[in-house]
Amino acid sequence: MTQYEELLVEAERLGLKVREAAFGNKECGYIKNDRILINKNLLDKQKYIVLAEEIGHYHKTVGDITDQSKIENRKQEKIARRWSYEKLIGIIDIINAHDYGCKNLYEMSEYLGVTEKFLQATIQHYRETKGPIYQIDQYTVYFEPSFGVLKMFK
């Protein structure tokens, strides 16, 4: 089962009805009440990302926020997007990708099943929320000045 299919199962458990429809090339989805539409023209990894964000809207936002000229709507959009970053890529996932041998963002995004653009946005999110350096167990994750993971041996 793909990551996208696993997330579809999770959405179903939440009582969400997910359907696919053609929206051209736009990497987008929409949620209204318990119904989610995903662009069927996307790659599975893109659908995975879009579905995660729409589930984030289900959990974290209220009302119609499609008018992104309003600051409060942009804030809600960011809240749902941040939820999707943490849902799909945790700090431990980044460390696991490093331990697996991923040497660059492309390899890491392939290992994690997301786009490079999404991985970069997730790293930026963690830079903003965790600071320039984050330590856990024997690992140090550097978000600044450049991204990297260092494992300390005891």
Instruction: List the beta bridge partners of residue 142.
Output: 133, 148
- Predicted confidence band of residue 147 (pLDDT cuts 50, 70, 90): very high
Q: What is the pTM of this model?
A: 0.92
| Domain boundaries, position 16 | 3-87
Cis-peptide, bond into residue 145, ω within 30° of zero: yes
Q: Please check whether residues 57 and 96 belong to one and the same domain.
A: no
The Cβ of residue 126 has, within 10 Å, a number of other Cβ atoms equal to 20
Number of structural domains (the chain) is 2
- Predicted confidence band of residue 60 (pLDDT cuts 50, 70, 90): very high
* Residue that terminates a domain, selected from 40, 63, 87: 87
Here the CATH number for the domain that contains residue 40 is: 1.10.10.2910
Q: Is the pLDDT of residue 142 over 80?
A: yes
Q: What is the pLDDT of residues 82-134, one digit of tens each?
A: 999 999 999 999 999 999 999 999 999 999 999 999 999 999 999 999 999 99
